[in-house]
Amino acid sequence: MSAPTTAATEQNPLRAAIRPREQPRRPGPVANALTFGWRALLKIKHVPEQLFDVTLTPIIFTLMFTYLFGGAIAGDVSTYLQFLLPGILVQTVLLITVYTGFTMNTDITKGVFDRFRSLPVWRPAPIVGALLGDSVRYTIASAITLGLGFAIGFRADGGLVGVVLAVLLLLVFAFAISWIFTALGLVMRSPNAVMGTSMIVLMPLTFASNIFADPATMPGWLRAWVEVNPVSHLVTAVRGLMGGTATFGDVAWVLIAAAVITAVAAPITMRLYRTRS
């Protein structure tokens, strides 16, 4: 470009704005997913009522079950709290995972879903980003549950390391199971249908487990289900990490289960995402 042309461009703001420039580098899959994860967090910022389930549910469950069943099951509240809190932690986070499918279905009903599919981004980014954003919700719920538990007398013999590892293991499993509820969000007709169906799936998994009572006290037919229930294995591993008694097999079982659930549910979810009209 000649000197007069350059001078003319600098004097004309319009020409300066539209003149050819180097295109920015296209963001990769990680950047795409993190952007959608940030979107999920911004939704919480603008609609803080979404945190009611994260903040109030752990408090209600912990206090209600501890003081309602503690004396009847364990003889005193303090003893029962040591058994119950890791299970309540698991139940609280798993119940929150249904909101991944709920919010996905809400985006579909509002038309945002179609806009996401038309963007030139990594195809799984909207779903992976939503799952990453929800992981923050799981972490907040875990912190509230543990904080309240320690305040009313829970003690973790596994120390800080055991508690952190237990929460991380729970987040890995929650991320895996969230793929299932995301798939439900893609096939159900309304957000309320997603919520209702998800609860039907979760109730037998959480309440018919070893969260509230020792399986040895249950009838044989129920104990058989509890012993194969994946949530029971998760609770055993979390309880063991927090109590300092976890074995390699307990933790490995949960990690393998999470990997298998993700390997099966993630491709199905992405296929539904690509083909949904």
Q: For the segment 11-21, what is each residue's pLDDT rounded down to a tens digit? A: 566 666 666 66
pLDDT at res. 57: 83
> Which residues in the chain land under pLDDT 50?
1-2, 9
Instruction: Output the pTM of the full model.
Output: 0.83
Domain residues for 42? 29-275
Is 9 domain-assigned? no
The burial class, CB within 10 Å (0-12 / 13-18 / 19+), for 75 is exposed
Give the C-alpha separation, 105 to 115, whole Å.
14
Is 133 domain-assigned? yes
Is 221 domain-assigned? yes
pLDDT at res. 277: 61
Three-class DSSP category at 74: helix
Tokens representing 5 are 């042309």
Is 84 domain-assigned? yes
Is 261 domain-assigned? yes
Give the total number of structural domains in the chain: 1
Q: For the segment 231-266, what is each residue's pLDDT rounded down to a tens digit? A: 999 999 999 999 999 999 999 999 999 999 999 999
Is 100 domain-assigned? yes
pLDDT at res. 101: 85
Is 149 domain-assigned? yes
Q: Are 126 and 36 contacting, i.e. CB atoms less than 8 angstroms apart?
A: yes
Q: Are 265 and 179 contacting, i.e. CB atoms less than 8 angstroms apart?
A: yes
pLDDT at res. 17: 64
| Residue 181 CB partners (closer than 8 Å, separation 6+) | 97, 98, 100, 101, 102, 194, 198
Tokens representing 190 are 């309304």
pLDDT at res. 19: 66
